[in-house]
Chains A and B, each alone.
Chain A
């Protein structure tokens, strides 16, 4: 009879002992997550206040980030949005740290993978932000220079340069995130090379007369401006 009872109670005891030894880990996870959530909330509030104080929203307006957000159907203020992104990032980190406190091998592997991937996410985000600002800066510079040179297709040229730069940045970001790097590289090479070849062929075939007219007009204007004796602006 005792043997029979042992057969029933031994697994239960074993489960209880396992749960007893697991309980501190569970409590540790709950404490970590609670503290993490509180910390994340505090950091979000402080970050938003700091960003507001340094006029981050105005900077985003100037750099075109606000426009980009609106295009992506994000209608919050840039400072609040960045605060929310940082908040959820901290929550994710808290969750991962909390799960690692459980000391379960499968979960530990998942957490290790998450943290080893984080640097790539950060560098990809950095490439995306800097690249976007840089693409806007370069295309605006090209636009102004082209307008001041009297180039008729200034806007088109600036937009084309901006699109190519963003394409390049997106390819770099995807490559950084290791998302199908071979496919991305091949797609980028095909698209980028294709655009260049298409432009060359279309200009070569269809634009001979236009090129001729442009060169003639340009040299004519140069002659005109030289012979007219330009005014002394200073």
Chain B
């Protein structure tokens, strides 16, 4: 584990800095357009809320070709007095370097954890480099619960459009909550705060040559913290607005990465989640306020078209995974008209659990298995969009809460089928 090789110049910088209270990690890959704003927001946050703390900003880059690292090096707040009433006392160091190892966000995080460990950091924060809505307050909200509240892990809590984050809302959040019993609303948010102790624990895990290094680091960090009994909280950060995803990243690949990482963790932590029933809130920080969000238009007709194609072409596979009863129910949904389309919560819950069981039993090649979930997921998403079209944000959230309760009440089905 401790054999991560950091470049000589990075080692030199670490030796020069010697110790830090706070490490802020920013993984990046071709984010020159947005990373400057993120660095400035972090610098302002550190200057405003932690003026006497020794802080280091670490940019762990995946080999950008658009001068992302140069942007980080050249970005600084020249005149703190324009932003802050108090001038920062301690200077903020910056380390920007290309990480080594398997390409992926996990490897970038590993290098950040290493530096945090080497600097004996008390608190760490990681924020995405494509954020447009980050403010200095994010640093306070992610660091203070660790430094002053004794928490080990702080997950983000965002206001998002009711149609956004559908993989989180319909799979990852209900499943993680039902499994581990903690209501962490954004388990794959991407912006987290955590203690130096937890960073060391992450480094001690033998996962850095696995898929975790490539994708799935967000759910891995959240689940590892919860399942190992670390103190978990969440902080309200406002809206999350970031650059549009790479159009080359298709939905099935996204779904595969997120869901396979979540299912994989179920294997490792089966003893932790099997006895858990119900769920409890985790402490929340930050002042919640309503955020104006951009209008999102969705083509539910195309989603349902793909679902019906799935019924026609994937029926053998789905019958194997879901069983004849639930597959019959899915077939019946295929006959509904678009405007009347509904997806029963209980059926969706059993589908997710059946896929988790099939993943556990290695019934199919894992990529095939999870990618075959796409048409079903699109049908569930379309049903939610149709139902929530005239709902306000709180009503849409109540709908997600109902789904979570269904996941919790049906957990016995998962536990008894898991052998």
Contact = CB atoms under 8 A, between A and B. Distances in A.
A65 B168 CA distance: 37
B314 A147 contact: yes
Contact of B167 (A140, A225, A233): A233
24 contacts: A140-B364, A140-B368, A141-B367, A141-B368, A143-B313, A144-B374, A147-B306, A147-B313, A147-B314, A148-B251, A148-B374, A148-B375, A155-B312, A158-B313, A228-B298, A228-B299, A229-B296, A230-B298, A231-B166, A232-B164, A232-B245, A232-B296, A233-B166, A233-B167
A145 B163 contact: no
Contacts of B367: 141
Given A137-B368, A144-B314, A234-B258, 9 more contacts: A141-B365, A144-B371, A147-B375, A148-B250, A154-B313, A225-B302, A229-B297, A233-B255, A234-B188
Interface in A127-180: 137, 140-141, 143-148, 150-152, 154-155, 158
A51 to B, nearest CB: 17
A137 B365 CA distance: 8
A152 B297 CA distance: 25
Chain A contact-residue range equals 20 to 34
Interface of B: 160-161, 163-168, 188, 245, 250-252, 254-255, 258, 294-299, 302, 305-306, 309-310, 312-314, 317, 362-365, 367-368, 371-372, 374-375, 381
A209 to B, nearest CB: 21
A233 B374 contact: no
B25 to A, nearest CB: 19
Contacts of B310: 147
A231 B168 contact: no
Nearest to A224: B299
A152 B312 CA distance: 9
A221 interface: yes
A150 B305 contact: yes
Contacts of A152: 309
A231 B296 contact: yes
Contact of A233 (B161, B251, B365, B375): B251
Nearest to B167: A233
A225 B296 CA distance: 12
Contacts of A233: 165-167, 251, 254-255, 381
Interface of A: 62, 137, 140-141, 143-148, 150-152, 154-155, 158, 221, 224-225, 228-234
Nearest to A156: B313
Contacts of A234: 165, 167-168, 188, 245, 254, 258
A150 B298 contact: no
A234 B190 CA distance: 10
A233 B382 CA distance: 12
A95 to B, nearest CB: 40
Nearest to B374: A148
A140 B367 CA distance: 11
Contacts of A150: 302, 305-306, 309
Contacts of A137: 365, 368
B196 to A, nearest CB: 28
Contacts of B362: 62
Give the most central of A140, A150, A221, A234: most B CB within 10 Å. Answer: A234
Contacts of B296: 229, 231-232
A228 B297 CA distance: 5
B364 to A, nearest CB: 7
Contacts of A148: 250-252, 306, 371, 374-375
Contacts of B295: 229
B309 to A, nearest CB: 5
Nearest to A59: B362
A144 B165 contact: no
Contacts of B160: 232
Nearest to A67: B316
**Central interface residue in A150, A221, A233, by most chain B CB within 10 Å:** A233
Nearest to B169: A233
A192 B372 CA distance: 30
